[in-house]
Structure 1
Amino acid sequence: MSLLFTPRAVGPLTLKNRIVVAPMCMYSAVEGVPQPWHAQHIGRLALSGAGLVVIEATGVEPAGRISWADTGLWNDEQEAAFARIIRDIRTYSDTPIGIQLAHAGRKASTNPPWIDRGGPAPADKAWETFSASAQAFKADWHTPTALDQAGMDRVVEAFVDSAQRADRAGFDLVELHAAHGYLLTQFLSPLSNERTDEFGGSLENRMRFPLRVAQALRDAWPRTKALGVRFNGSDWTEGGITPDEAAAFGHALDAMGYDYLHLTSGGNVATARIPGDQPNYQVAFAEAVKAATPEANVMAVGMIVTPQQAEDLLVQGKADLIALARAVLDDPNWGHHAAVALGQPEGLPVQYERAGAAHWPGYATARALADGSVAA
């Protein structure tokens, strides 16, 4: 039996396999409301063969969106739109669907990446941004307002409200976004947190506000549903977050009752050199957290492309779950193809079975063309 296709308990949720579709921003919402694009996109992922799908970073307040085209979950219209999408998916797929709740902090108020390379939004679309310190992400970006106590209280309440909306909308899981240079990372990293109060300086102080948000979310989210967190193992810059600090943060979250720890990196320093073209380039961070908290469910991500690569990481004990992003955009049937490659039942919807390995003579040729082992 392939380990990748062995079920895994994630809190109260049992995944049919260890494949997770990681959150990927679509930059296609209108005033935070998901559109028909999101309906087809999420529905497509729900048929991918993955054990879990987590949809994109969703702002908990208007100022928390990365761009003006991001999804949000702070009002009734957004909640109703997400509820419709989940309700429709449940007519054809039982794949668990999660949502990543996020606040972009100083990296908010931008364009989608295909407009001006995702730089600061024009004046008519821009808004005030917030961070741990009044330090801009780049020299030519807006300077954020350092959050005071009232601002931190507002953000905590926004996460709680969005979690309650996610529950009513029918999501099976929430993932707290504490990675990629967004607000909670800005508190965690000494490179972006210059505070001299109880929220800056030592690791204990830098973790204080992120852990407050995490605890409020843990208290608000039903124990009958799963709760995870994504956070950085490195800033890829000297003086930034270290794997040891990430392990300490992960250990605290596991003790708080988080059901999985999802390790990623980068995004907090604009000039960082990240080896994103290297296979498994972030796996060491998951491995460090797993070693520090062996009982935790740890998720690895980062240039994991092939089924055997994913299988090997699980067999070696470096992670318990494997997250994929662009690999699934490239091949929306990645999970089904991985099952065949690892000798497991393909698991296609019955409507698609005639295109599977057991029924279609062209399957082997199609896969060979896709992986480049034969020329067209």
Structure 2
Amino acid sequence: MSVVSAVKRANPAVVSIVITKDVPVLEQYYDNNSSFHDFFGGGLFGGFNFQIPQYRENGTEKKEVGGGSGFLVSQDGLIITNKHVVEDPNAEYTVFLGNGSEDKYEAKVLARDPVLDIAVLKIEGTEDFPFLEFDDSDHLELGQSVIAIGNALGEFRNSVSVGVVSGLSRSIVAGDGRGGSEQLDEVVQTDAAINPGNSGGPLLDLQGKVIGVNVAVANGSQNIGFALPVNLLKGVIESVQKDGKIVRPFLGVRFVPVTKELKEANKLSVDYGVLIIRGENRTELPIVPGSPADKAGLEENDIILEADGQKLDETRSLPTLLRKKNVGDTLKLKILHKGSEKELDVKLEAIPE
């Protein structure tokens, strides 16, 4: 399928998200009791009546404060976008479809993912909505052609850019533009133009199927954008459809990655895995009481070497493996406990609310 055909197929299900909020209305006034004249007296400025403008709040007004992108994933109006696009609980979110009409829908935020930069919205309509299908992001290849669609700069709806898969399984620290940041693992790198406002839009293959969610762009660079692989979304959607919220499994340990430097500094016997350790504060326990890790018998200073047979090192992190599991799944761990290797089965539970 050509780029044009893929865009025609996908475009109706790509949405623009407009963020509005009640903001203060400031009015200017002049204080006739200003101390300016009193301060200077009638000397140098004698004969002149200076008034200093003042400002005060006079109610509020609804104002557009931002925008983003998203895409429909079900005919009943479920929409995927980035969590940072809809993170303000006091804002209102309006959705415009990509069919060229000016029809707008008030969107309700159903769930914000506690782990990934993903959120699920819901709109209501009298007819079935168009929606996008998912491809298998585990089978992406370097150089594969991709298409990004989104609300570029929060102004140009359903803008299309084309590029290739430039990298796979990247790890980046993404900022939200407001001082916050988060670690993103196994993201897809692309040279398709991704701009502010494109966040939450789909990254598509030439079949018009979703292979990723546009999530970040490298500041100070050209043609370096990143997308969350779509396979991470499948459990999110199933969870919302089943439970009305995003349910994530957790292990319940605090840890640091074991590196060569950490091994040498602490005379450890291995230079990979994760070391279970308490935080800087006394309240930051190494293992959450009553958690799956606690029930399985994990202890402080244990080193988790493998999870489900996969070695934990700089190319494969424990959080990444956990994201692929569901609540109720069993995670098989190989650990180093007081110098001896042992294996444990841990039954994962939902992150406490």
Instruction: Flag whether TM exceeds 0.5 (same fold).
Output: no
TM-score range, shorter chain: under 0.3
User: Higher relative contact order at CA 8 Å, sep ≥6: structure 1 or structure 2?
Assistant: 1
The TM-score with structure 1 as length reference comes to: 0.21
Looking at secondary structure, tell me which structure has more helix per residue: 1
Looking at secondary structure, tell me which structure has more strand per residue: 2
